[in-house]
Structure 1
């Protein structure tokens, strides 16, 4: 009930999130149970009436002669396989005559890349297929060059008696093709010869299906292995080693994803913390809660796509991580304006800032209407040369520029606030954490820029650097997650920063800056001001502000500010802290305070933090407190 109330408050002023949730529901369409009919209306002329045709694929672990997927030959010469149900949203498949040596090929005898089909459970589908040729027909005609592939090492956790397969563009990427089951030699190595129909030769190792393909330690796909024309022409065995299997690695729960999961959970908990108590920052914390929710949600989405099974069934979930592209900057800006400028404008008032996000959602929904297998291919085999990915790259580039612009705009607002606060207030505000967060976000933008440059270089060069790009992307998300950890750290160490109201400062107008004080008036004001500081010791008030002191002086803020600037060549904060430091020095040498620490004395003379005191002491004396008093002893 408490959580419902909190999240209701968070999103009550953000109606656009209703649209966000509709998109989420759309992208989470479950696995389909599809009924499909397959009809082959053309086969090669050399196909005998006695030949039996089979459907093989991911649904039967690539068994080439599965009686459950046997075609029936009709009197009109067509072949039919009716009323087959498939679990999942898509399949990969091929047609055989009962064995892998008789699998279908292109009309020139070269391997046919596996067929793919995405299902639509709204209707019963019928797929019309044509077979251009059979592999056994071309075996005698085509004698491609062959290259020996040697596997010298496999992971220690490889299940006993596992069969190792190689697949690639030489067999249409069938992962369980019995023709390419590797033979184990007496020395423990595995070896096989594969044909080279085209260069470069691309391949991967599996244990019979894509769930057991080689991968990295975190269970993520690795780039295809590639042999160029130069390597192939050497006619020497190509040695390889497998470090990890995808299904035998850490999987979805690994050190990297656990970091993201813990960050997201901390983010959700932090939302509860900063909204569960009365505070003067309600409007700012509301925007901050939305910001933390978006970060946490995208981190969880990032984790989900690390599992091959989840990704295969729900590939469109990968788009959820991109929702932060055009949301983070505007919402962070809203938070800063509500925090520093006490703005109470609703989220709707900022609607122009969210136009890029709305356009992105519209484009992504259109993009996600592509068949599931096509969607996955465009994600896994990304290339700037393909229109869909080129469109995605444009979005990434625009998002980078978009966020850099917001970073500088927000940085400017924070910098202006700190500059004006020194003119109006004598103590620091507890919002230095903003500078730390801006620094982390700056690192993220630098990493993002490097990723874009690496991607462009990889696209237009002959040196694939997918591993480097993936490492940089993972690093970017890890650094991005630090924002939530920082907010959590400050929420625990300095919880008051999320409860106390941040002071509002005003900039002086050009007319006020140009106004002058005559010499006689300046002298009188300086004398009165000095007496006020010495006799009444108003500097002892840690919350002393320029307006408050002007009221005590029976003058206006701008006249007092001019007096301090012109008469002492200091801003308001440095002027007040000068008197605090003088008082501190006197007390530190007084026997009456000998049992008190420097920090206790500093707080007693009006400082509100150790860092503020040390900074001011160094500014006034050009020494640290310890150095200053050690010098006094030696003198």
Structure 2
């Protein structure tokens, strides 16, 4: 019986089982050149560093993998980028012993993290534009928060404006992360970033339209139907399903199916939404908002051209290695953010500018009513008087009253009302009213509700403080 077992062991050693092993590289050094091919080499191929059968290929989720069959019971191996000067090393660029695998004849997967390459010596590429991207992400977050104040009573416009700038913040934070993660995770970020391409078009259209037409715009979720499909595709790619393995295959040159189908189709969809904006919007906006909308539109057009040029370069291998494809796209796409920040810094009411030029009917009649209410009824004595209350007394709309004051008196509502209060204060003071009342007491009588408001309004109308004014009289 013992002889039988010994014979069986000898037969197993003489005829080792063939096992199938999938080697999966799930992490690479950050400085790994994108154009370099990575090979596995070992005892199974006489340490050939450029064996085409041992070339690792990119998977749907960005990892690199190769499947090999082995008959040897013990395998030693390493990874290189095509020659022994580019062999893998340790974290401190030190020599590492050969990796070892025991072949038990089963199908197995081995997951590897490559820490360094001998020729790179621990070098790390750093893109200083990452600081700029981070700054744009912060500015986008500021605009996101401000949107709740700018469009406080316009919920639809508020949601569109906030969503657009929230997406911009995510986009630029992702761009920052791209420069600090390893190449495998860079692919993951690319896959997730491609989802934003499908949100880009409808969000740009909704933003341009809601600002151009100065109206609340219902969001049609049909616009975002392709986005949900791409989210599903991205999830399946990150799960590394074999059904999507063709996404990593090349169509022509360096252009992959994934880039063609997702990036290409997403940009075509964005083109459609920009064309829809041209035909749906009459573009009658005037003033600074007019130029802001033109800036957004032209920036999107130029960015689309850059993406299509990148796809062309990939297809016809204009570059001998893969360039940093979207670097200047991100720089250009940040331009409208700067325009918004500067505009809001100079004028917090920038987006409140009316986009429609309208004629005031019965302007003479309204001016006559306004004069009677202010001079005879002296409605400005009401400390809580506001534009809605005055418009109600005149039997008109608040925005019409505001336009009337701007066009005929070149004043806003507050300055117009305060000018009456200041003039009556001066008239009352000159007839001796200040002998019985203090400055503040008389200010309250003519309609001011605080000392600071009175002082500011008085100086704005007379270029002097109350005491300076009456001393000079």
**What is the TM-score when the length of structure 2 is the normalising length?**
0.54
Contact 1:339-1:502 within 8 A present in 2 as well: no
| Equivalent residue number for residue 404 of structure 1 | 271
Contact 2:89-2:116 within 8 A present in 1 as well: no
Q: What is the CA distance between 1:290 and its match in structure 2?
A: 0.3
Matched, 1:175 2:116: no
Indicate how the Cα distance of structure 1 residues 429 and 378 shifts in structure 2: closer, same or farther if over 3 A, else same. closer
Counterpart mapping for 1:519-558 below 5 A: 545-546=358-359, 548=360, 550-552=361-363
Matched, 1:492 2:345: yes
Contact 2:156-2:218 within 8 A present in 1 as well: no
| Equivalent residue number for residue 185 of structure 1 | none
Q: What is the CA distance between 1:116 and its match in structure 2?
A: 8.7
Match of 2:321 among 437, 457, 466: 466
Indicate how the Cα distance of structure 1 residues 107 and 399 shifts in structure 2: closer, same or farther if over 3 A, else same. same
Note the residue ranges of structure 1 that are not aligned, 5 or more in a row: 1-48, 50-72, 81-85, 97-102, 119-126, 137-164, 182-207, 215-244, 422-426, 506-544, 555-602, 609-635
Contact 1:326-1:354 within 8 A present in 2 as well: yes
Match of 2:202 among 325, 330, 338: 330
Match of 1:105 among 35, 45, 50: 45
SS of 1:384's partner is strand
| Equivalent residue number for residue 290 of structure 1 | 163
| Equivalent residue number for residue 5 of structure 1 | none
Counterpart mapping for 1:495-514 below 5 A: 495-498=348-351, 500=352, 502-504=354-356
| Equivalent residue number for residue 447 of structure 1 | 306
Match of 1:358 among 220, 225, 228: 228
Q: What is the CA distance between 1:109 and its match in structure 2?
A: 11
Q: What is the CA distance between 1:339 and its match in structure 2?
A: 2.8
Matched, 1:344 2:155: no
Q: What is the CA distance between 1:327 and its match in structure 2?
A: 0.6
Q: What is the CA distance between 1:474 and its match in structure 2?
A: 1.0
| Equivalent residue number for residue 148 of structure 2 | 275
SS of 1:466's partner is coil
Structure having the larger proportion of residues in helix: 2
- The one-character-per-residue Cα deviations of 1:217-264 (angstroms, maximum 9, x if unpaired) are xxxxxxxxxxxxxxxxxxxxxxxxxxxx5843453xx32111111111
Indicate how the Cα distance of structure 1 residues 259 and 271 shifts in structure 2: closer, same or farther if over 3 A, else same. same
Contact 1:284-1:338 within 8 A present in 2 as well: yes
- The one-character-per-residue Cα deviations of 1:191-226 (angstroms, maximum 9, x if unpaired) are xxxxxxxxxxxxxxxxx9663477xxxxxxxxxxxx
Indicate how the Cα distance of structure 1 residues 450 and 386 shifts in structure 2: closer, same or farther if over 3 A, else same. closer
**CA distance in structure 1 between the partners assigned to 2:49 and 2:143 by the alignment:** 62
Counterpart mapping for 1:144-293 below 5 A: 167-169=80-82, 174-176=87-89, 211-212=116-117, 245=120, 247-251=122-126, 254-276=127-149, 279=152, 281-293=154-166
Match of 2:332 among 452, 468, 479: 479
Q: What is the CA distance between 1:271 and its match in structure 2?
A: 1.0
Q: What is the CA distance between 1:444 and its match in structure 2?
A: 1.0
Note the residue ranges of structure 2 that are not aligned, 5 or more in a row: 1-9, 29-37, 60-66, 95-112, 366-405, 412-473
Contact 2:88-2:117 within 8 A present in 1 as well: no
| Equivalent residue number for residue 141 of structure 1 | none
Contact 2:199-2:227 within 8 A present in 1 as well: yes
SS of 1:495's partner is coil
Q: What is the CA distance between 1:489 and its match in structure 2?
A: 2.2
**CA distance in structure 1 between the partners assigned to 2:124 and 2:49 by the alignment:** 38
Q: What is the CA distance between 1:324 and its match in structure 2?
A: 1.9
The RMSD of aligned alpha carbons is 5.0
Counterpart mapping for 1:539-578 below 5 A: 545-546=358-359, 548=360, 550-552=361-363
Contact 2:267-2:304 within 8 A present in 1 as well: yes
Matched, 1:417 2:283: yes
Match of 1:438 among 274, 297, 316: 297
**CA distance in structure 2 between the partners assigned to 1:443 and 1:117 by the alignment:** 31
SS of 2:251's partner is coil
Indicate how the Cα distance of structure 1 residues 271 and 87 shifts in structure 2: closer, same or farther if over 3 A, else same. same
Match of 1:130 among 70, 94, 100: 70
- The one-character-per-residue Cα deviations of 1:548-577 (angstroms, maximum 9, x if unpaired) are 1x43479xxxxxxxxxxxxxxxxxxxxxxx
**CA distance in structure 2 between the partners assigned to 1:442 and 1:403 by the alignment:** 9
**CA distance in structure 2 between the partners assigned to 1:407 and 1:396 by the alignment:** 17
**CA distance in structure 2 between the partners assigned to 1:352 and 1:392 by the alignment:** 24
SS of 1:248's partner is coil
- The one-character-per-residue Cα deviations of 1:483-516 (angstroms, maximum 9, x if unpaired) are 3232222222222123x263457xxxxxxxxxxx
**CA distance in structure 1 between the partners assigned to 2:229 and 2:251 by the alignment:** 21
Q: Which has the higher contact order (CA 8 A, sep 6+)?
A: 2
**CA distance in structure 1 between the partners assigned to 2:272 and 2:151 by the alignment:** 34
Indicate how the Cα distance of structure 1 residues 486 and 175 shifts in structure 2: closer, same or farther if over 3 A, else same. same
Contact 1:107-1:132 within 8 A present in 2 as well: no
- The one-character-per-residue Cα deviations of 1:53-90 (angstroms, maximum 9, x if unpaired) are xxxxxxxxxxxxxxxxxxxx97974599xxxxx99957
SS of 2:250's partner is coil
Q: What is the CA distance between 1:400 and its match in structure 2?
A: 2.0
| Equivalent residue number for residue 250 of structure 2 | 383
**CA distance in structure 1 between the partners assigned to 2:362 and 2:345 by the alignment:** 37
SS of 2:354's partner is coil
**CA distance in structure 2 between the partners assigned to 1:336 and 1:116 by the alignment:** 43
